[in-house]
């Protein structure tokens, strides 16, 4: 009177058509061995969905075989082999482990930090089959092996006048002395040798346009003396922008409050502050908070070019969907689908991890149309160079996304869609053709973003997606 569900049996076309029908759990569980009992499907009073390793209408039969139930842990796959002797033990199977796991049953999570891959005081975090280094500023790179400490050219002149602007300018001595932003150069000499904001300016700032995205690891500030009196900025904030329109105030590691930097204490000494973590931006704004007499500043920026060390080839690390560097909280979606309306079979965005195993092992939205999306918040701006996508099966039915768009954002509100370089239309990425193969697409050119959305455009059966993002910290 019912249909067998197990991972080895796939002909449920009649049931699958009932996908959109609302079903429910049985009031009394008629199924054995941890199976799920579902009612309200077709003519059958109930259906048992068996746990791995069990079969039969009520899941009371044990599937026999060395690989059933699967003895391999952590998504390892089991393969039956001719009986072999391994030490004192006879084995009829071998476990093929996922990266990052080892042991006869893949039971050991390899510590990828064991060889201390992070240099220069960086902190290592063990991931599934990978590691991540949290570098101390000014070190950067996968292993914190690179120093990002070039002087960017306020003092040296590589940053030219037209790149420096300010909210206002102080004019001294009957308007003859102009304390303009172009003078805000470290160790600038002369009688008029720094930037000073106008005394009526309640919200002063000075801004450098670096003309392309750079990584900043620090700032050196200095005051000046005017008419024999020391003037300087005692405390300041820093804001940055990619486009000169929307700015974010630097918060450092404290996600809640703006970071206030301690500035100068006299007219001449320099004060160095590090940005830890570094700032990646094209525009950087210094916002005085407390000034002595007037907001007067000479300065230098410390940092490095973004792509010196990493062309696309060197910037294609998995960003952590599979390894779980991207945590569940960083994943969200427009909606989620539940097979037969059952909570246990919810296709959460948190399941959209490449190679995820299990009965529900991908993201799937509630509706199949072009308004749906899945979003990754990388928590800081990264360079994105590609994406790997993968479909899945829902109780035997092969489902995948065959065409998709990609959108990205720096604030989670304003989105840009990746464009086709030749036509300037939204780029349509070719996706999957089956339930399991990895399909890789490159972003050409790469882009920088904190938030990424995948927007399914065409699909087979139902929108179903597992994925990995490729890129690097730069
Ligand atoms: C399994 O259940 C069916 C009926 O639900 C019964 O006929 C059969 O004997 C059971 N088998 C075992 C091994 O318990
Ligand atoms: C400015 O700094 C110099 C060098 O530290 C010092 O000699 C001078 O007295 C200072 N001037 C004022 C006005 O504070
Ligand atoms: C997608 O489906 C939802 C729910 O039926 C609907 O609200 C939305 O307008 C649809 N979007 C498109 C583009 O059809
Ligand atoms: C799904 O993918 C697996 C692994 O590649 C493959 O063995 C299987 O045949 C596929 N299933 C279907 C129904 O296409």
CB of 130 shorter than 6 A to ligand 1: no
Give the number of other CB atoms < 10 A from CB of residue 409. Answer: 16
| Top-confidence residue, 8 or 456 | 456
- Give the mean pLDDT of 95-118: 89
Task: Report how far Cα 161 is from the mean position of its chain's Cα atoms.
Answer: 36
Pocket flag, ligand 1, residue 30 (CB < 6 Å): no
Dihedral sign computed on CA atoms, order 247, 257, 274, 194 = positive
d(CA 364, CA 375): 13
Cα 370 from Cα 67, distance rounded (Å): 41
pLDDT of residue 290: 97
418 pLDDT higher than 50: yes
Report the C-alpha gap between 49 and 26 in whole angstroms: 12
Q: Among the ranges 56-65, 137-146, 329-338, which has the highest mean pLDDT value?
A: 329-338
Nearest CA residue ID for atom 9, ligand 4: 435
Q: Which residues, other chains included, contact 205 with Cβ-Cβ below 8 Å and sequence gap of 6+?
A: 166, 167, 239, 285, 286, 287, 288
Best residue among 7, 434, 438, 461 to mutate for probing ligand 4's pocket (most ligand atoms within 8 Å of CB) is 434
- What CA–CA distance (Å, rounded) separates 19 from 406? 28
Mutate to test the pocket of ligand 1, among 60, 61, 62, 63 (most ligand atoms within 8 A of CB): 60
- The residue among 446, 151, 154, 163 whose CA lies nearest residue 283 is 163
- Closest ligand 4 atom to Cα of 10: 13
- Strands 24-25, 36-39: pairing is antiparallel
pLDDT value at residue 180: 97
Q: Closest residue (by CA) to atom 1 of ligand 4?
A: 435
Residue that wins the pLDDT comparison between 44 and 412: 412
Top mean-pLDDT range of 50-59, 326-335, 395-404? 326-335
Task: Outline where DSSP puts E strands in 149-266.
Answer: 150-151, 164-166, 170-172, 177-179, 195-196, 206-222, 224-226, 229-241, 247-249, 261-262
User: Which ligand 4 atom is nearest residue 393's CA?
Assistant: 1
**Which ligand lies nearest to the CA atom of residue 64 in the structure?**
1
pLDDT at 19 over 70: no
Cβ atoms of 413 and 452 within 8 Å: the answer is no
Q: Reduced to 3 states, what is the DSSP secondary structure of residue 212?
A: strand
Please, which pLDDT band fits residue 9 given cuts at 50, 70 and 90? Answer: very low
Q: From the CB of 368, is ligand 3 less than 6 Å away?
A: no
Residue 394 — pLDDT band, cuts 50, 70, 90?
confident
> Which structure tokens are listed for 56?
């039969």
Q: Are 444 and 465 in contact (CB under 8 A)?
A: no
Nearest CA to ligand 1 atom 1: 60
Q: Is 181 in the pocket of ligand 1 (CB under 6 A)?
A: no
- Let me know: does 399 contact 373? Beta carbons within 8 Å: no
Q: Is the CB of 398 under 6 A from ligand 4?
A: yes
Would you tell me how many other CB atoms lie within 10 Å of the CB of residue 306? 20
Q: Which two tokens stand for residue 113?
A: 């930090």
In this prediction, residue 74 has a pLDDT band, given cuts at 50, 70 and 90, of confident
Smallest-distance ligand from the CA of 270 = 2
Pocket test for ligand 3, best of 367, 373, 455, 462 (most atoms within 8 A of CB): 367
pTM of the entire structure? 0.64
**Whole-number pLDDT of residue 4:** 39
- Please give the pLDDT value at position 416: 95
Buried residues in 326-364 as b, exposed as e (16+ CB within 10 A): beeebbbbeebbbbbbbeebbbbbbbbbbbbeebbbbbb
pLDDT for position 90: 67
Highest averaged pLDDT of the listed ranges 50-54, 89-93, 393-397: 393-397
Is pLDDT above 70 for 84? no
User: Per residue in 280-310, pLDDT tens?
Assistant: 899 999 999 999 999 999 999 999 987 654 4
Q: What pairing do the DSSP bridges indicate for beta strands 331-333 and 271-292?
A: unpaired
Look over the chain and give the mean of its residue pLDDT values, rounded to a whole number: 88
As a whole number of Å, the end-to-end CA separation of the chain is 60
């Amino acid at each position: 009177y019912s249909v067998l569900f197990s991972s080895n049996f796939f002909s449920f076309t009649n049931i699958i058509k009932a996908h959109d029908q609302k079903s429910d759990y049985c009031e009394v569980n008629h199924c054995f061995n941890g199976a799920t009992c579902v009612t309200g499907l077709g003519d059958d009073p109930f259906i048992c969905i068996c746990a791995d390793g069990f079969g039969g209408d009520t899941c009371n039969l044990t599937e026999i075989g060395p690989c059933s139930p699967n003895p391999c842990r952590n998504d390892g796959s089991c393969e039956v082999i001719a009986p072999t002797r391994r030490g004192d033990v006879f084995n009829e199977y071998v476990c093929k482990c996922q990266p990052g796991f080892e042991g006869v049953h893949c039971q050991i999570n390899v510590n990828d930090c064991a060889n201390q891959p992070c240099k220069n005081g960086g902190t290592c975090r063990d991931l599934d089959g990978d590691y991540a280094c949290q570098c101390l500023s000014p070190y950067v790179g996968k292993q914190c092996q690179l120093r990002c400490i070039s002087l960017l050219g306020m003092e040296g002149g590589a940053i030219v006048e037209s790149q420096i602007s300010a909210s206002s300018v102080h004019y001294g001595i009957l308007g003859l002395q102009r304390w303009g932003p172009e003078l805000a150069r470290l160790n600038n000499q002369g009688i008029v040798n720094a930037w000073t904001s106008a005394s009526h300016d309640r919200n002063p700032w000075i801004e450098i346009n670096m003309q392309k995205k750079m990584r900043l690891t620090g700032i050196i500030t200095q005051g000046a003396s005017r008419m024999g009196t020391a003037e300087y900025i005692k405390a300041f904030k820093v804001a940055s922008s990619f486009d000169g329109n929307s700015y974010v105030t630097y918060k450092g590691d404290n996600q809640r409050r703006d970071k206030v930097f301690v500035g100068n204490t006299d007219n001449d000494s320099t004060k160095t502050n590090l940005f830890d973590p570094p700032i990646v931006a094209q525009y950087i704004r210094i916002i005085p908070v407390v000034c002595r007499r007037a907001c007067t500043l000479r300065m230098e920026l410390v940092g490095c070019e973004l792509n010196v060390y990493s062309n696309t080839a060197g910037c294609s690390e998995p960003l952590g969907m599979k390894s779980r560097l991207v945590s569940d909280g960083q994943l969200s979606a427009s909606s989620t689908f539940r097979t037969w309306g059952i909570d246990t079979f919810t296709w959460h965005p948190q399941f959209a991890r490449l190679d995820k195993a299990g009965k529900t092992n991908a993201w799937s939205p509630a509706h199949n149309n072009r308004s749906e999306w899945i979003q990754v918040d990388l928590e800081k701006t990264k360079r994105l160079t590609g994406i790997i996508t993968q479909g899945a099966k829902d109780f035997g039915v092969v489902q995948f996304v065959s065409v998709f768009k990609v959108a990205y954002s720096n604030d989670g509100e304003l989105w840009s869609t990746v464009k086709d370089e030749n036509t300037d239309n939204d780029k349509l990425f070719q996706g999957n053709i089956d339930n399991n193969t990895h399909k890789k697409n490159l972003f050409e050119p790469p882009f920088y973003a904190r938030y990424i959305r995948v927007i399914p455009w065409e699909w087979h059966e139902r929108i179903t997606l597992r994925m990995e993002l490729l890129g690097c910290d730069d």
